[in-house]
């Protein structure tokens, strides 16, 4: 068994935990949590993966992965989401500890990320996975509305309003962040953070989803993370790229464009990126 002081902490995780007291406290307790789960679930662990929002390590004595998530508003209901999707098309949840925010997950073998494929091929696979994820959870359910996340991001953006070089652009993005959740044509369970790094090649199915951050809301929103992870292509041919992906997802292309615009206006660093600001102005409603 690992000793409590023997735990390796990836640099990205340590950096992301350094700015918030709750995360620093969690990181200080992490070695003891891992040691306890290792004993309880009879796990032999390998070296942790490089991850920025969770401590994740392969289990070497069975085909599994251990994950403990840091305190993170967007990911608070990951366990509930993994239970809801139950391996379709996510990695299966083999065991869990809600108090520790710990998941014992099915190992994805060979685990090659979808990002290894050309982006046009990623679009097709990603659209198929998202459409399988979009299911309506029966009431009562534990999941938060997407509006809660857009409100959270809007508050963060307002705190930095003085840094913005285009206040009108930001104001329109904030307006859409209020309007779009209210006018959604349907309410389904979203992954919200699905990009090519969170889709892994596997044996049980060709591709499995990991690391969802579930909220209930407009399916068109779920296009945004993948598109932002393809930013050079998106900025070079915005209407073609967004239109093709909207067609693959069978969502309203105009709503998708508004979501991309709104989310882009509140992304950290946007006001410092002249090329990205030009892109946002070009696609503004």
Please name the residue that has the structure tokens 């662990």.
Answer: 45
Question: Is 193 a residue of the active site?
Answer: yes
Rounded Cα distance between 26 and 21, Å, is: 9
Q: Which of 97, 109, 193, 252 is catalytic?
A: 193
Sign of CA dihedral 93, 95, 98, 103: negative
Whether cis (ω within 30° of 0) applies to the bond prior to 95 is no
> 70: which 2 tokens?
């840091």
Contact criterion met (CB below 8 Å) for 199 and 126:
yes
Q: Pull the structure tokens for residue 245.
A: 């992906």
Residue 120 to residues 56, 126, 137: CA-CA distances in angstroms? 29, 10, 31
The answer to whether the CB of 229 falls within 8 A of the CB of 196 is yes
Residue whose token pair is 């992490």: 30
Instruction: Count CA atoms within 13 Å of residue 185 on its CB side.
Output: 10
Which residues belong to the active site? 193
């Amino acid at each position: 068994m690992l000793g409590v002081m023997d735990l390796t902490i990836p640099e990205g995780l340590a950096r992301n935990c350094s700015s918030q007291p709750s995360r620093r406290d969690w990181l200080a307790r992490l070695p003891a949590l891992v040691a306890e789960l290792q004993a309880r679930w009879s796990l032999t662990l390998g070296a942790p993966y490089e991850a920025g929002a969770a401590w994740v390590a392969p289990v070497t004595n069975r085909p599994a992965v251990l994950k403990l998530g840091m305190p993170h508003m967007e990911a608070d209901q990951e366990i509930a989401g993994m239970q809801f999707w139950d391996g379709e098309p996510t990695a299966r949840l083999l065991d869990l500890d809600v108090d520790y925010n710990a998941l014992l997950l099915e190992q994805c073998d060979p685990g090659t990320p979808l990002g290894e494929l050309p982006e046009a091929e990623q679009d097709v696979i990603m659209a198929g996975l998202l459409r399988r994820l979009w299911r309506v959870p029966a009431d009562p359910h534990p999941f938060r509305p997407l509006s809660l996340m857009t409100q959270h991001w809007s508050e963060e953006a307002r705190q930095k309003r003085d840094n913005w070089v285009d206040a009108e652009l930001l104001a329109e993005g904030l307006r859409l962040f209020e309007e779009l959740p209210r006018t959604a044509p349907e309410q389904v369970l979203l992954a919200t953070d699905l990009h090519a790094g969170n889709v892994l090649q596997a044996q049980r199915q060709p591709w499995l989803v990991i690391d969802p951050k579930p909220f209930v809301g407009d399916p068109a929103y779920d296009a945004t993370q993948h598109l932002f992870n393809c930013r050079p292509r998106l900025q070079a041919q915005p209407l073609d790229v967004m239109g093709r992906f909207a067609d693959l997802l069978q969502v309203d292309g105009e709503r998708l464009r508004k979501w991309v615009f709104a989310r882009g206006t509140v992304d950290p660093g946007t006001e410092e990126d002249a090329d990205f600001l030009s892109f946002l102005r070009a696609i503004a409603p």
